[in-house]
Amino acid sequence: MRQLRHRRLTAVLAVATLLLTAAPPTAASAAARPDRQPGYHRVGYFTQWGIYGRAFTIKKLDASGAASRLTHLNYAFGNVSEDGRCYVDGGPGEGDAWADYQRPVSADESVDGVADAPGQALNGNFGQLAKLKAKHPGLKVLISLGGWSWSTYFSNAARTDASRKAFVASCIDLYLKGNLPGAPGAAAGVFDGVDLDWEWPNWDGEPGNVIRPQDRENFTKLLAEFRRQLDAYGRTTRAHHPLTAFLPANPATMDAGYEGRKIFTYLDFATVQGYDFHGGWEAVANQQSALRVPAGSPDNPDFSVEVAIDGWIDRGAPRGKLVLGIPYYGRGWTGVTGGGTGLFQPAAGPAPATFEAGYEDYKNLKALAGNGYTVHRDLRAGHAWLFDGTTFWTYDDPAVVLQKMLYIRRAGLAGAMVWSLDGDDDNATLTRTIDLGLTTR
């Protein structure tokens, strides 16, 4: 059975190669000599809250085979206080210390099958991350700071030289040195580096975010301060501590918040948003993660993977430091009228879903195919969708993921990132597909 699945995926890979070869080149795909070293980054986000409704524990990363196929694991998220500090707070909306490091983990949920002992210094997800790293010593674990909900005060933290120094020092102290509240040094060694997920400098994100025109240059200065302090800490640990950032797909956001090539001086690499191009907040069923802008798109200009990657390359980003984001979820609409395949048709609103209207995990969407829903594909544009005549879901299945892996290879990019690992099925099908597509043979 395993050999049969491999042959099927290899066949899809061959078809995707032909499609990419036939496509007209863009700034990204036209690279004749990719300026990157051999080997690809495989970055996965683990969500702090995934242990609840989705019952997605760190043990599942190991048991499914996902952990052995990742190079970096980003833990989402760490919060930023109003006075510009990294902190963990169990208060509503501020953090979840229980999930992070307080929750006693049972033997059934433990990576090594050993339950947390009463009174031990480190429990919860952080304790399991330590066990996961012991089993997979090549895996780098990064604390991802911010995200959509916790980018509110990034601007305060980055505002002055003094605030930047204090912010970075607090993050290194809390996460890399592991000085948890009431437990100094308990989490030392769990985290190897820092991922900045500021959404977005000098651009609207979640309502209420602090935004300043100076954010653009202050973001660069913040990266420089992180690099300086991480390197200084690395001289004591005799290790390199990686620094990465999550970057937007919207060219206007790129110009407003980032100093192009400058930021890559300090970053090991950056992950680029390859999803959320459209969603249930709009009144038309559309693609959320297409490789290229589909023919007949009602929006001009429109978003796509190529638009995002080409946007960063045009602004001076080295292609060998760009990692493409892949969604492990779909965006959906219901009340779709107009017939056809549903694409670009009017919709009444976001589709009902398990946790959030208009948002559904891949593991649940894959069960819809053939179960009242038809799978549709635009092979040239590189996207797929499900439609039952009323409800429409745009998502990445293994065939689309393979096509994107070929794009990464042809464009000379640094690898793939996924949001988020809890959306995959129990066999880590999408993560295995990424590994297949990025493995040099």
Residues labelled as active-site residues:
199
Q: Which residues contact 53 (CB under 8 A, 6 or more apart)?
A: 354, 355
Phi then psi for residue 85, to 5 deg, are: -135, 150
Looking only at the bridges linking them, the beta strands covering 269-272 and 243-247 are parallel
The neighbouring-strand residues paired with 323 are 271, 415
The neighbouring-strand residues paired with 74 are 45, 142
Where does residue 54 rank: exposed (0-12), middle (13-18), buried (19+ CB within 10 A)? middle
Record the tokens describing residue 54, joined without a space. Answer: 């989705």
